[in-house]
Structure 1
Amino acid sequence: MHYYRLNIHKCIIFLLFTALVIPSKAQETIVSYIKKNRGFTAIKDSAAYTNIIRLSTNELGLHELNEYYPNGNLKRHGWTKVADPRRLYLEGIIESYHNNGNLAVSAGYKHNKLSDTLKRYYENGLLKEIRFFSGSEASPNEFLFQDQHSRLIYYADSTGRQQIVNGNGKFEFKDSINSEKGQYIDGLRQGHWEGTLKKGKNKFEEWYEKGILSKGTSTDSMGNVHHYTQRDVQPEYPGGIKNLMIFIAQNYKYPKEALNAKVSGQLLISFVIEKNGLANEFEVINDLGYGTAASGIAVLKKAEKWTPGYQYGMPVRVQYSIPIRLNTAPAPN
């Protein structure tokens, strides 16, 4: 089943009170082994990549971040304000690499959000696109439609054939699943656009005015027509994420075994918001043991039904990741 992934690591759920963990001065780096589902493992051979954060900071107060593929090739290099692999706070130039060693992405971040210039490269080393983000408006979130927050300055296909130069030109994209084409003027979408989704099963048409979508119409595989004015609409919990945080804090049941063992730390649980708004397919990405993850899933199952996510006016399955921080320390006066 296909779903869209949405990480909301900024929405930390504080059940009790968080404790500040200060690493030893003798410790120079924090080394973490990350699984494919973004969870952590103590076994290097089972990791999708290795994350290394240097504890000492540069003149800007930033920690150096390096990530490596299992074969030792560099996967990502950059800087973070927080020396915690579970909640990176990106700042400055972040570079990602293909496994063959060629640069994949070079992006500027400000306050953990895309800012300034982003460049993408094909695996063969050719430049794919250049985008300019202004005002740090767009969060690094793969669910969001990037054109809402940026101008496309340059685009070329994998053979090097240029389509967009200086923000102008006709854009055409096609892979084994989706396709779309339309016009860019001054880096913004303009006029009539059209494309296909899911190997041609769904079709859509859109109309833009200086990058703003004025209307869109999609037709699904059953012939149903959907009208929309936003390409991407995220799922929403009743009252917002803050209400979900409050619900979890009020209803989470700390397992007796965890209390006796004085377990503290952060759970990370992912789940899918189905097209009908129900939460499903719970997966524990980071477990603290002693039944803490089972209690986290139990409270999420009791939460209210969500408003589902939409793309092109059609409901879609969206994956969320929820961090739940636990602390057995007594509350301060």
Structure 2
Amino acid sequence: MHYYPLNIYKYTIFLFFTAFVIPSKAQETIVTYIKKNGGFTAIKDSAAYTNIIRSTANEMGLHELNDYYPNGNLKRHGWTKVADPRRLYLEGLIESYHKNGNLAVSAGYKDNKLSDTLKRYYENGLLKEIRFFSSSEASPNEFLFQDQHSRLIYYADSTGRQQIVNGNGMFEFKDSINSEKGQYADGLRQGHWEGTLKEGKNKFEEWYAKGVLSKGISTDSMGNVHPYTQRDVPPEYPGGIRNLMIFIAQNYKYPKEALKARVSGQLLISFVVEKNGLTNEFEVINDLGYETAASGIAVLKKAAKWTPGYQYGMPVRVKYSIPIRLHTAPAPN
């Protein structure tokens, strides 16, 4: 873990990027109330769900993890190598559930990454898809195109009509916003694909060879054409996140009252990287008080302009969350 010291008011400030939350401990479990935006609260009634981790590990060194919806139904069950909700390290079988109690996702993890088999289910209980991860890969998110890291073995619509069987078939998807269709062969995208975005305002075409995108072309609502060779490209800070860490460490101004109160802990601030690379819509998810969050927002506003994120060759707005941990200690001689 990297940290960067900054001497102010005879104290040393350490800022480093990790996971988040400071849990409340029971005798045998760690109980944390999680808000909808990912922040943490001491009030159970204001939480989107409750996270409970068993402090004692089993014979494999794993701690049991359970999340619960406000109605008491199980939201997730699995195992973590670390008994700290700030930095869950998933291992083994992880299962999540719909609010009605039906299984939503069953996935195998190794070293906190998807591995082996992933199964998804519709809310009505029917099997939606089966994917196989041949090697341990990062968990899917909005900037990780799953097909680059797995093979689709099975897919069916919500009525149970099978489209992909044994990795082969014609895939068709459509909801109120997006649609796409194309061929799967041996679990990988193959040949010509096409679809629509934003309720049909934008459209795209893609060409694949054994799951690898060779060319993509999107057309926006104004008729502008956007070529691309990578469907999802995340925003990037100049020089990478490490440079942003250094910038924050060198420019964060610890509020005087916070120094007097010896405030330590972790801030969590979210913001949007706009299509032009500027940051906007700052939100404090986890606050330490004493104007520490305001100082965090101030330093982020002073940071350099980002390279925006792209989807289907078109710039998009992307929401980011930045954890900043603060620690006060006597400055070294």
Same fold (TM over 0.5): yes
Matched position secondary structure for 1:295: helix
- Offset at 1:134? 2.2
Residue in structure 2 matching 1:16, options 14, 17, 20: 14
User: CA, structure 1 residues 165+250, in 2 after alignment: closer, same or farther (shift >3 Å)?
Assistant: same
**CA distance in 1: counterparts of 2:247 and 2:184, whole angstroms:** 45
Change beyond 3 A, Cα 1:46–1:23: closer
Structure 1 distance, partners of 2:143, 2:311, is: 10
Aligned CA RMSD, in angstroms, stands at 2.2
Paired amino acid for 2:157: D
Corresponding residue number in structure 1 for 2:104: 104
Q: Note closer, same or farther for the CA distance 1:142–1:12 as it changes in structure 2 (3 Å cut).
A: farther
Q: Per the alignment, in what secondary structure is the counterpart of residue 297 of structure 2?
A: helix
CA shift, 1:140, in A, is 3.9
Deviation at 1:13, TM superposition (A): 8.2
Q: d(CA) in 1 for partners of 2:192 and 2:39?
A: 42
Alignment deviations for residues 84-112 of structure 1 (CA, whole Å, 9 cap, x no partner): 21221111111000011100000111111
Q: Is the 8 A contact 1:11 1:322 kept in 2?
A: no
Runs of 5+ unmatched residues, structure 1:
1-9
Q: 1:140 to 1:112 in 2, by over 3 A?
A: farther
Distance 1:13 1:136, change over 3 A: farther
- 2:330 corresponds to: 330
Corresponding position of 2:92: 92
Question: In structure 2, what is the Cα distance between the partners aligned to 1:190 and 1:213?
Answer: 9
Partner of 2:214: 214
How has the CA–CA distance of structure 1 residues 224 and 11 changed in structure 2, closer, same or farther, with 3 Å as cutoff? farther
Calculate percent identity across the aligned residue pairs.
88
Output one character per residue of 1:62-83: Cα deviation in whole Å (capped at 9) or x when no partner. 1111000000000001111222
Q: Amino acid of the residue matched to residue 262 of structure 2?
A: K
What do the CA deviations read for 1:6-42 (whole angstroms, capped 9, x no partner)?
Answer: xxxx999885178xxx999973111111111010011
Q: Which has the higher contact order (CA 8 A, sep 6+)?
A: 1
User: What is the alpha-carbon distance in structure 2 between the residues aligned to residue 85 and residue 110 of structure 1?
Assistant: 18
Whichever residue aligns with residue 66 of structure 1, its letter is N
Q: Does 1:134 align with 2:117?
A: no
For the residue of structure 2 that corresponds to 1:131, the secondary structure is strand
Number of residue equivalences:
322
Give distance in 2, aligned partners of 1:157 and 1:39: 34
CA displacement at 1:141 relative to structure 2? 2.5
Describe the shift of the 1:23–1:102 C-alpha distance in structure 2 as closer, same or farther (beyond 3 A). Answer: closer
Three-state SS of the structure 2 residue aligned to 1:16 is strand
What are the superposed Cα offsets for residues 138-182 of structure 1, whole Å, 9 maximum, x if unpaired? 334243111111100000000000000000000000001000000
Look up the equivalent residue of 1:114 and give its one-letter code: L
- Distance, in Å, in 2 between the alignment partners of 1:109 and 1:117 is 9
Query: Aligned residue for 2:120?
Result: 120
5+ unaligned residues in a row in structure 2: which ranges? 6-12, 17-21
Q: What are the residue-to-residue correspondences of 1:59-98 with 2, within 5 Å? A: 59-98=59-98
Structure 2 equivalent of residue 51 of structure 1: 51
2:328 aligned counterpart, secondary structure: coil
Distance in structure 1 (CA, Å) of the matches to 2:235 and 2:26: 45
Give the letter aligned to residue 16 of structure 1: F
Task: Quote the Cα distance in structure 2 between the aligned partners of 1:72 and 1:141.
Answer: 27
Q: Secondary structure at the match of 1:195?
A: strand
Choose 209-218 or 143-152, whichever is displaced more. Answer: 143-152
CA distance in 1, matches of 2:2, 2:199: 35
Does the CA contact (< 8 Å) of 1:12 and 1:323 recur in 2? no
Aligned partners of 1:84, 1:164: CA distance in 2, in Å? Answer: 39
Give the aligned partner of residue 242 of structure 2: 242
User: 1:55 deviation in Å?
Assistant: 0.7
Letter of the 2:124 counterpart: N
Distance 1:288 1:121 in 2: 39
TM-score (normalizing by structure 2): 0.92
> Take 1:154 and 1:58, find their aligned partners in 2: how far apart are those partners?
34
The one-letter code of the counterpart of 1:195 is: G
Which residue type is aligned with residue 139 of structure 2? Answer: S
- Flag the 1:178–1:189 CA change in 2: closer, same or farther, 3 A: same
Counterpart CA distance in 2 for 1:49 and 1:12 is 32
| Residue of structure 1 in register with 2:36 after alignment | 36
CA 1:196/1:13 → structure 2, altered by over 3 Å: closer, same or farther? farther
Hey, what's the Cα distance between the residues in 1 that align with 2:232 and 2:272? Answer: 17
Structure 1: 4+ residue segments shifted above 3 A: 10-15, 22-26, 330-333
Whether the 8 Å CA contact 2:215–2:227 is kept in 1: the answer is yes
Provide the residue aligned with 1:6 in structure 2.
Answer: none
